[in-house]
Amino acid sequence: MRLYQKQSVWRLLNPLTICGSFITHRRLLWQFTRRSIELQHKGSFLGIAWTVLNPLLLFAVYAFVFIAVFNSRFGTVESETRVDYAIGLFLGLCLLQMFQESMMVAPSLVVQNPNFVKKVVFPLEVLPAAAVGAAAFRCIVGLALVLASVEIWGPGLSGSVLWLFPILIALGLLSVGVALMLSAVGVFLRDIAPFVQFLSVLLMFVSAVFYSFSSIPPAFSFLRFNPLLIVVETSRHVVLWHQAPIAADVLYLFLCGVITFVLGQAAFSGLKPAFADVL
């Protein structure tokens, strides 16, 4: 009995368990990811073109408010221009929204698909993973616009931009882990959705999207431990200022990503057998 319990705990905490499921059901994962992308703009005249237009319109609004009205700056380098601030703001929004979108849809993913729980044998972990995949697609489209803007109107691109790849991987681990956890908890606690919406707004203001970490008062220096702040701040440094990231920051991001992923899959796998009883 004890041996069974130990193996059960190891299976819950072993990230290879759910990664193996993603690999086995990769075609299904791709189909649901594509469906999530298409459903968002289904029936609209411009269709998937909104994937590009939405971030551009959002960028225009924030750029006008924080540049034309408030004349904001990051103050990271002396040569920073208003265009640099606009691009840096857009970059931060793209990265943060990937996490926000994954987090906000997660609580209802399993609840809204009871047939997958009751009537068929279906890998339910595909649902939150596909939601993250759709959010990642929109993030990548936004990042492509950012990189084009940096090359055309900003300081130009350099080799440091390649650091975006490990940063995005860490962000992906964070997003999948949180989506798995919230989609499982959302089955049992339906009131979690409003709280997640509030948390999503809060994250925008504590993740250095509109400001740099150097402008945070010492009393709030604990915000440095927010991995999303490091994602946003580090990405601006590698894209706009051509600076390599601090190694400790990258390691911390991956540590947070792996821990969040493991805890998310443990929560999902542990609660999954009870889904059918609740739904």
**pLDDT by 10s per residue, the chain, length 279:** 333 344 466 666 677 778 888 889 999 999 999 998 888 776 666 667 777 788 788 878 877 877 777 777 888 887 788 888 889 999 999 999 999 999 999 999 999 988 888 767 789 999 999 999 999 999 999 999 999 999 998 889 999 999 999 999 999 999 999 999 999 999 999 889 899 999 999 999 999 998 998 888 889 989 999 999 999 999 999 999 999 999 999 999 999 999 999 999 999 988 988 888 887
pLDDT at 10: 60
Closest CA to 149 of 52, 50, 51, 48: 52
Quick one: pLDDT at residue 11? 66
As for how many domains the chain has, the answer is 1
In a domain, 10, yes or no: no
**Structural domain contains residue 249:** yes
Q: Provide CB contacts within 8 A for 186, sequence distance 6+.
A: 106, 107, 108, 109, 110, 111, 192, 193
- In a domain? residue 1: no
Supply the range of the domain harboring residue 54.
22-274
Would residue 65 count as lying in a domain? yes
Any domain includes 184: yes
Kindly compute the dihedral angle of the four CA atoms of residues 172, 37, 45, 87, in this order, to the nearest 10 degrees.
10
Q: Is residue 11, in this structure, part of any structural domain at all?
A: no
**Rounded distance, CA 148 to CA 252, Å?**
29
User: Domain for residue 38, yes or no?
Assistant: yes
Per-residue pLDDT at 8: 61
- Render the burial of 190-200: b for 16+ CB within 10 Å, e for the rest: eebbeebeeeb
Q: What is the model's pTM?
A: 0.91
Give pLDDT, residue 75. 80
Q: What is the pLDDT of residue 1?
A: 36
Q: How far apart are CA 176 and CA 134, in angstroms?
A: 12
- pLDDT at position 138: 92
Does 4 map to a domain?
Answer: no
